Structure 1
Amino acid sequence: MQPVYLSHFIDSATPIYGGASGEINIEQIRSIDKGDTSNNLLLKFPAHIGTHIDFPYHFSNDGKKCNDYPPSFWIFDKIGFLNCTIDLVEANLDVLPSDIEILILKTGYGAYRNDEIYWSSQPVIPSRFATIFKNKFSKLRIFGFDLISLTSKLDREEGKLAHINFLINNDILVLEDMNLENVNKIPKTVIVSPLQINAADGVPCNVIAF
């Protein structure tokens, strides 16, 4: 397949978990058109915005942070890809090789990214998935999907348990709000490139597949 982005560009229309507004500010502070010698933007937004990664520190003061992962961690050649709804995930796991390092789930819910239901009514991801995945795929390092968060507003307690079970108990990072519109088969390679913010509990990522 040709190289494709599996991440969304961040702009003022980027959906935010919980439907919050006013948290993204992309301001032109220098402009050639206004007589400045260069163009320049001032960027202000939460760490957990757009296509982003959650680190263990997000749910534990003792958890690993952004700078605790070497560059080699972010290159994946053993990829699992499922194109199904949440309720069919467990039934489809047997088709995946046992040595996958990243599992990408295309639920189809990304089609609602510009609608309120994307953040208000996304499907619930069961916390038990983390243990099931780790037992079946011992090398799994990241679970990514086309939903705004591992936590659904429909069951926030289960979402908290899911974060703890993935990030803390099973050491699987969570890659949220992926752009999977143009992915219909297993990529050969996936590269996840987190924004390098020291000691961050989560950061936006560029994700490229080919």
Structure 2
Amino acid sequence: TQVTVEYDGDRPVRVDTVVVSAQHEPDISLEQIRGDITEKVIKAGIPAKWLDSRTKFYINPTGRFVIGGPVGDSGLTGRKIIVDTYGGYGRHGGGSFSGKDPTKVDRSASYAARHVAKNIVAAGIARKCEVQLAYAIGVAEPVSIMVDTFGTSGFSNEKIAEAVSKVFDLRPAAIIRDLDLRKPIYRAVSNYGHMGREDLGVSWEKRDKVDALKAALAK
């Protein structure tokens, strides 16, 4: 499950998106699952004042979800989650890299977020930047792009996020394409972290969107 909440400053004002992927018995229809989850889980758990006509529900967006658990999600994963990134300095969504191929946004979108943040700082737009991306299974576009410059930018976080959405294609397949993530590069980053590795020439450390970001913010 994933809930995206819209804020006005530090005050929550509405729920923008709700994602639920629920495994079910093979004789249960997708329509029943979606109806039951909407009425008995989402609307029962989220107060009505937070939901409106623009709230998006993604319930089992890839379709039927009969096979799950160890059979559907086998393999090594969940290792070295903090040392692989920023050593606890930055906030972390909880998805690890180890054992995952680049089709998993836990890995590829983390690289994309690093690429975005690095170019924002390299462009002189901010001195410090954290980028958060959120996805729903089966939905290509991120359901949320959030930028936090911790008061170090002359632009609002919202304006920078808008520029990011124009300059960077953050769909998973596009990230794989643009950062060339199908190459056998992962053994090299399995030690000493994945971020800041300019010594390895990894694609997410490139400062190749600086001019495009400046142009987007100048409009």
Fold similarity call, TM over 0.5: no
Higher helix share: 2
The interval holding the TM-score normalised by the smaller chain is: under 0.3
Higher strand share: 1
Normalising to structure 1: TM-score of the pair?
0.25
Normalising to structure 2: TM-score of the pair?
0.24
Larger relative CO (CA 8 A, sep 6+): 1 or 2?
1
